[in-house]
Structure 1
Amino acid sequence: MRVEETIAELEQVAATEVGRGSAKLAVPSAGGLLAAARSIAGHPAPDAAVLTGFFIPAADPPAAETDGPIGSVQVAAALRALGGRARLVTDDPCAPVVTAALAAAAPEVPLEVAPLKGYDAWADDAAQRYARLSHLIACERVGPSADGRPRNMRGEDIGAHTAPLDRLYTAGSGFRVGIGDGGNELGMGRLPAELVGRAVDRGERIRCVVGCDALLVGGTSNWAAAALVGALAVLRPDVPTLRELLRPEWSYDVLTAIVLHAGAVDGVRRRAELSVDGLDWPAYAEPLARIAELVARSG
């Protein structure tokens, strides 16, 4: 199978529908995975920020969700395996979960935490540094809707619990990758509002208006992040570490760590359990196993 065909199949697997309309959003973004992977793999020294963390204030107790941090750590670890630099970026409410994810799988990757109070001063400094990065990657990171407010899939304004990291995401001329599953994440502004409105419940209300250079749509954002690592492994077969990151067991270990040690919650069920977006591990792991299989078959 040709490289382009394998990566296109990875893109399709990542977009496996889970009942939110993700498969419909994935159609016009086809080719985004190849573009993102080529941009990273072809860069002599990628230097990236990976933005993540989606807080669920109505969970019991409130915490960041399990979708996003796993894939973000996976992508950051892949960048380092390629000889590049990476740091994760989140905000205060999501920091415990992202910290636990890094401790479990990539303790060498630095974490930058944006404060909710005093954000402007912090962002002024960070934006200057981020403007020099080669890549800015957002994975399941909520962004502003048409009225400027970040909204969850229920249409609820979660701005009181969310730092506006879109300011950093749009800094400079770095290649921007958006990874999402529901239309309200950074990067989804690449899709027309009417399309998101047709494909997703409350789509026009929640759609993030911030676009990107390459959009990756998954049934869960973690799947799309895994597909990006898979595409990098296909393009760079000389880096065996990339394939190690694709083992479903790798994801399970991180999922376990963030739930047990930091109280990460399933964003759909709003409870701390070993699931992602309403999917128990066996169902959630199926696309991960398929991604790993496709990469293994690619040679």
Structure 2
Amino acid sequence: MIDIEQLSRRVEQIILQHGRRGMDKVYEAMRPGYCGRAARMILDNIGVMLIGTGFPVGCGYESDGPIGALAIYKVLEVLGGRPIIVCAPPLSSILSPSFAVREMQVSELEKSGKFAKEAMTSLSPDLILSIEMPGIASDGRYYNMNKEDISHQTPKFDYFVTQAGCPTICFGDGGNEVGMGNVKEALANIDIIPSITGCDELVIATVSNWGVYGVVAMLCVLTGEDLFSLIDPTSTAEFLVANGCVDGITVRPDVSEDGFPIHVGVSIIAQLRLLVREAS
């Protein structure tokens, strides 16, 4: 019999490697086993599944978030779900030829809230995921890791999470993302302006994409399927960079994520696959 919680803890240690933004300290304040719980939440709510992603950097978006969003999209499809990516231009136009997309505009709070309500009424989601989306701060604004106000360029996905009539899972790696309101006390000692938006299950990792991989690892265990065979972060990163995405740390069009060469994320997947095989 596999001890799911213990295995999830081991998964979480893998996705929190190479930390440099304080998520290891935040982890100490969380209830371990969140990757396993998020995986079970996904399996219990297969249906229409909205995936919000797209953290603005310069005139475009960073690669951390979309890489994970496309990975979980493919996994959810195989599991029988109907995933829909919710994002703003230009990311929406990049993804819409190959993926189901609900485009949202960058607008002020009231319009964003109305859009979210209308979208959820028409789509009736069974589950909402937020992967590296900026979260609103206590002053009603949005900030990047340098504490710069990015409200004017941010798609405000918080309302999908706060108004959801279904379970919500959020992925973050710095404290300023949607969902991080769950650990606001633990973020007090990190030099950021944190998000106050919470969620049902928060998944933290050194890189948000790696958090997605952690949940996929637990889905592999729970389903007995090699879902990692669907994921190729290198080709996904190359596709995104070729279409204008940049590394969120270096702000360069590199095949990397949050300052880590893409091979580091590939190594994280290799470690997770090995752990899954050993546990099976």
TM-score (norm 2): 0.91
Residue in structure 1 matching 2:263, options 282, 288, 295: 282
> Where does the alignment leave 5 or more consecutive residues of structure 2 unmatched?
none
**Greater mean deviation of Cα atoms: 121-130 or 144-153:** 121-130
Please report how far the alpha carbon of residue 86 of structure 1 lies from its aligned counterpart in structure 2 after TM superposition: 1.0
User: What residue number does 1:212 align with?
Assistant: 199
8 Å Cα contact 2:161-2:199 kept in structure 1:
no
Counterpart CA distance in 2 for 1:293 and 1:94 is 33
Q: Does 2:241 align with 1:253? A: no
Counterpart CA distance in 2 for 1:42 and 1:126 is 22
Which amino acid in structure 2 is aligned with residue 165 of structure 1? Answer: F
Please report how far the alpha carbon of residue 77 of structure 1 lies from its aligned counterpart in structure 2 after TM superposition: 1.4
User: What residue number does 2:68 align with?
Assistant: 71
8 Å Cα contact 1:40-1:46 kept in structure 2:
no
Which amino acid in structure 2 is aligned with residue 218 of structure 1? Answer: A
User: What residue number does 1:129 align with?
Assistant: 122
Please report how far the alpha carbon of residue 177 of structure 1 lies from its aligned counterpart in structure 2 after TM superposition: 0.5
8 Å Cα contact 2:67-2:209 kept in structure 1:
yes
**Greater mean deviation of Cα atoms: 115-124 or 15-24:** 115-124
Residue in structure 1 matching 2:106, options 104, 116, 119: 116
CA RMSD of aligned residues (A): 2.0
> Where does the alignment leave 5 or more consecutive residues of structure 1 unmatched?
none
**SS of 1:263 mapped into structure 2:** coil
User: What residue number does 2:35 align with?
Assistant: 33
8 Å Cα contact 1:93-1:162 kept in structure 2:
no
Please report how far the alpha carbon of residue 138 of structure 1 lies from its aligned counterpart in structure 2 after TM superposition: 0.5
8 Å Cα contact 2:6-2:33 kept in structure 1:
no
Which amino acid in structure 2 is aligned with residue 128 of structure 1? Answer: T
User: What residue number does 1:170 align with?
Assistant: 162
Note the alpha carbon deviations across 1:57-94, whole angstroms, 9 max, x for none.
2xxxx320010001111112111111111111111243
Alpha-carbon distance change, 3 to 283 in structure 1, aligned in 2, over 3 angstroms: same
Residue in structure 1 matching 2:85, options 78, 83, 88: 88
Note the alpha carbon deviations across 1:110-166, whole angstroms, 9 max, x for none.
011101259456444213235x32211100001101111111000111111112111
8 Å Cα contact 2:248-2:257 kept in structure 1:
yes
Which amino acid in structure 2 is aligned with residue 273 of structure 1? Answer: D
Counterpart CA distance in 2 for 1:293 and 1:7 is 14
User: What residue number does 2:48 align with?
Assistant: 47
Counterpart CA distance in 2 for 1:283 and 1:123 is 35
Counterpart CA distance in 2 for 1:84 and 1:15 is 28
Which amino acid in structure 2 is aligned with residue 171 of structure 1? Answer: Q
Please report how far the alpha carbon of residue 96 of structure 1 lies from its aligned counterpart in structure 2 after TM superposition: 4.7
